[in-house]
Amino acid sequence: MDSFVNGPYLKLLKLNINYRYASLALGLIALLLTIGVVKNGLIKFTFMPEVDGDKIKASIHMNEGVSIDETSKVADLVLEKGLETVAEFNADRAADDGILRNIYSVVGGTIAGGGPGGGATATATNLSNISMFLTESEQRGIPAAEISNIWRNKVPELPGVDSITFQSTLVHLGANIDVLLAHQDFSALEKASDRIRAALAEYQGVSDIEDSYSRGKREIKLKLKPEARTLGITERDLARQVRAAFYGAEALRIQRGRNEIKVMVRYPDADRVSSTTLRACGSAPPREERFPFFRPPRSAKALVLPKSTELIANGSSMCRPASMPLRPALRRSLPISSRMCFPNWLRIILA
């Protein structure tokens, strides 16, 4: 160490002191050359490079309110296209040298991701995840991103689908392009989002374009009129009777072994999918009179209820023949939630 300090290092130090301006110029030149090489792209720099993984995850997000059966149909179609993609790659390979190890699919929820904070899952009828586990990259010799792109291109545009995204990298730190929009009018936000999505789709290499705007479920808002409040009807009574018609009112409980069975009274499935059935319902104020939810025309003299309407009283089921009104004794024997759709001043016709 002493020989190095007293030898080459001392000579270089004396040279820099004697020619200090030349030494400063050489240092600035080296600094400028370094900056120029980096700026011109001669030396590549990536903050977080994409690492090819051994798993491809397809995330399906349907519109809000979609049934799980519709989500399952879309998931089956996406899975079918994934298997077609695997079959194309395996066609030129040996039988024991396939690229697929296993497939795991979840309908009605999401699959927990890996890494820190990746264990959270969500449950909803409009969600589905498909994970395709591939063989090791050294064995298959095909990037997972290439398989993912072909799988994505095979999936067509499907109605009722909000977004379908594919992820094949080992580490995913979010989208490469992220645009944040803010506005007080949701319709303006929706139009702006559609325009941005259409503009991004024109660029080659941009895929999995989605937005976080949730349109939500369609709803019907019921509001009491002043005349209804004078009759003693409240919002709670209105909500309870609408819930009983479409969700069901508990009429009976049966103990069967260690299990308890609830018997619910409600409209059949065919009549609970249309909002027109709501017009056949009526509200029951405390004094036992019946009034319709919606005011019918003055010429209306009869109310035709769904064909398969049934009444359950005291555990028995009975249907009234055509053009026969309900007897007062039967009205008194039924609970309010079962009598709500039968106004006194209308003649009941069960078709």
Q: Which two tokens stand for residue 254?
A: 């049966």
Fold assignment, 52-174: Alpha-Beta Plaits (3.30.70)
Say which residues have a Cβ less than 8 Å from residue 79's Cβ, sequence separation at least 6. 103, 105, 130
Domain ranges of the chain: 2-39, 52-174, 226-350
Q: Is the dihedral of CA 134, 139, 140, 146 positive or negative?
A: positive
Please provide the DSSP assignment of 51-116 as one string.
Answer: -EEEEEEEEEEEPTT--HHHHHHHHHHHHHHHHHHHHHHHTTS-TT--SEEEEEEEEEE-PPPSST
Long-range own/partner contacts, residues 72-77 (CB < 8 A, 24 or more apart): 72/107, 72/128, 74/128, 74/158, 74/160, 74/161, 75/105, 75/107, 75/128, 75/130, 77/155, 77/158
Q: Distance between CA atoms of 274 and 95, rounded to whole angstroms?
A: 53
- Asked if residues 161 and 74 have their Cβ atoms less than 8 Å apart, the reply is yes
Confidence (pLDDT) at 84: 93
> Which portions of the chain are predicted below pLDDT 70?
45, 47-49, 114-119, 172-174, 215-216, 280-351
Confidence (pLDDT) at 350: 33
Distances (CA, A) of 19 to 14, 22, 24, 29: 9, 5, 9, 16
Domain 226-350 in CATH 3.30.2090.10: yes
pTM as predicted? 0.55
| CA torsion angle 56 209 146 70 (round to 10) | 50
Q: Which two tokens stand for residue 160?
A: 């009722």
For helices 144-154 and 68-90, give the axis angle rounded to 10 degrees: 130
Please determine whether the domains at 52-174 and 226-350 fall in the same fold group of CATH. Answer: no
